[in-house]
Structure formats: structure tokens, C-alpha cells
Amino acid sequence: MKKILAINGSYRKDGVTDQILNAFVQSATSAGAEIEVIHLRDQPIEFCTNCRACTQQSGEHPGECVLNDGMSELVNKIEQADAYILASPTNFYSVTAIFKRFMERLIVYAYWPWGTMAPKYRKAQTAKKKAIIVSSCAAPGFLGRVMYGTHRQLKIAAQSIGAETVGTIFTGLISKEQSPKITEQIQNTINSLTRKIS
């Protein structure tokens, strides 16, 4: 059975991102996959302190972080999953602050010893897992996807954990109503993307 891990950077309970992830849960479960959603808003995850201790350890396994918080359990879940859904609304042209805070902690996936210029992704050489990227914004979705940093940031997060992005949902024009609902078209896209990762 395929294990899917969804990581949600939305602040808003039952907002668009939550609805999309709930729809993925239904779709993946009926496709016979196991799926877990982690809401970053509920996770005790601290800021990276840039000590780089984790990046000194060589090898493919994520380095050990000096901080003792919820991130180590989340890294274990990332390691055990076969596929990912990485989701964040677009706030001020980028992923949300809680997604960015999580993303910076993914530095454990880089080998970057002192004396070297730039990090190397530990998982770059290994068999790729698959990721689907989800975002939403007030602007039209196709514009948001190209105009904002969100899509690129979510792709980099996927790449750093060893996953190739195989699908994107970037839904737009969702901020006119206080409680927007996802459309049938989004629902259909979710069903077809689920088949790519289940």
C-alpha cells in the first residue's frame, strides 16, 4: 500500500487548502492508498538557527538537527512516505511563513560541510519519489503560478526531500467570498492527480 504524506501550510481551518487536502484524502483512500495530513499550524516547529550542524554529516540520510521539537518526527514521516502533497496558500507572493519555516528546516536534507560553497541535496542521486504541489491565491490561478514564488518554493521543497513534482493545483480567484468552496473542476483534477501518486 502506497503511503502519501500531505503537508499543509495554511493557517485557515476549512479554507481552500484544507478542502483540497480533504478531497485528496477521500480520493487517495478510495484508490487504496494510505494518506496522512500534517497541518503545520498545529506543529511545534522552531526556526532553523543556521548552525549547520546537520549539514556536516555525510550520507543520504537526513542529518541530525540540534533542536528538539516536532521536526524530527516529521522528518521520520517524510522518510517513510512514498509520495507527497505539499500545500501552501500564496501570501505576499510566496508560501506562508509557517511553510517557509518548515522548509528551512529541510536543510537536514543537504550535505554542506564547512569549506564548501553550496549545499548538495542528499537525495539527488536516488530513485525519485513523487510530489504534487498545491497552492491558491486571490489572482487568477494561471497568473499566480507564474508570477509568484510559491510554485518554485514548493518545487524546491519537493526536490530537497527527493521528490519529483508530477502535478500542480494552483487555484485562483478564491478571495472574493469569505468561505469559498472548491469547484467540481478542482475535484476532477484531484481525482486524476491521485492516480499519479497512489
Stretch 36-75: interaction string toward ligand FMN, x if CB under 6 A: ----------------------------------------
Cβ nearer to ligand FMN, comparing 47 with 93:
93
CB 47 within 8 A of CB 90: no
For residue 165, give the C-alpha cell.
513534482
The reply to whether 137 sits near ligand FMN by the rule CB under 6 A is yes
Query: What do you get for the CA distance between the two ends of the chain, in Å?
Result: 8
Q: Which is nearer to ligand FMN, 26 or 57 (CB)?
A: 26
Residue 120: strand, helix, or coil: strand
Closest CA to 65 of 81, 48, 79: 48
Size of the site for ligand FMN (CB under 6 A): 17
Q: Does 97 interact with ligand FMN (rule: CB under 6 A)?
A: no
Q: Compare residues 12 and 77 and give the one whose CB is closer to ligand FMN.
A: 12
Which region, judged by CB under 6 A, interacts with ligand FMN, from 60-68, 69-77, 133-141, 152-160? 133-141
Contact of 143 with 30, CB cutoff 8 Å:
no
Q: How many alpha carbons fall within 13 Å on the CB side of residue 43?
A: 25
User: Does position 89 bind ligand FMN by CB under 6 A?
Assistant: yes
The half-sphere exposure of 9 on its side-chain side, counting CA atoms within 13 A, is: 25
90 scored as a contact of ligand FMN (CB under 6 A): yes
Closer Cβ to ligand FMN, 65 or 137, answer by number: 137
Residue 143: how many other CB atoms lie within 10 Å: 13
Pick between residue 17 and residue 165 the one whose CB is nearest to ligand FMN: 17
Does residue number 16 form part of the binding site for ligand FMN (CB under 6 A)? yes
The three cell numbers of residue 173 are 480567484
If binding is defined by CB under 6 A, does position 150 make contact with ligand FMN? Answer: no
What are the cell numbers at 122?
542528499
Q: How far is the CB of 99 from ligand FMN (least distance, A)?
A: 11
**Rounded Cα distance, 171 and 190, in Å:** 12
Binding site for ligand FMN (CB under 6 A): 10, 12, 15-17, 89-93, 136-139, 144, 174-175
